[in-house]
Amino acid sequence: MRSVALFCAALVCASPALAEDKLAKYPVDAALAKGQSYHSKLDPAIKLYFAGQPTPAAKTILPADSGHKRTNAFNKPEQEACDIAFLSAAISLQQYARRTGGNAVVNITSYFKTDRLESASEYLCAAGFLMTAVGLRGTVVTLGE
């Protein structure tokens, strides 16, 4: 009985640590490369341009925000869980662009809560014990023909 009480006390003390998110950076290209093997696929007709990448002439439509896309991180390598959440966020941006008449999303940045990363090569991921989250923001545009 005493060991059960000690286990419960240890679990209560440890649970706040398990709930905290660790911010990590992972390569955009590695995640995008998985975009055609993921169960939801990236749309090649809707181009994605990350912060700092040169973009063709475009007509701005409106800002886009994927929100925090989450995935179950339990029993997955951290980068795999982050890449899945990243792809969900990128697909969400593409779907929004299509619905609003755009054919690209430019100046994409990643964020979690108040942390933001403007990079063409890396994205920001909040990796937790059970859940992982990635948020992407950008601008929906129509690229010149």
Going by their DSSP bridges, the two strands 122-127 and 131-143 should be labelled as antiparallel
Phi then psi for residue 9, to 5 deg, are -65, -40
pTM: 0.83
Which tokens hold the place of 84? Answer: 């899945």
Instruction: Give the start-to-end residue ranges of the domains of the chain.
Output: 21-143
What is the model's pLDDT at position 137? 98
CATH of domain 21-143: 3.30.110.70
Q: What is the DSSP letter of 42?
A: P
Average pLDDT over residues 42-55: 94
How far apart CA 97 and CA 142 sit, in angstroms, is: 9
What is the model's pLDDT at position 134? 97
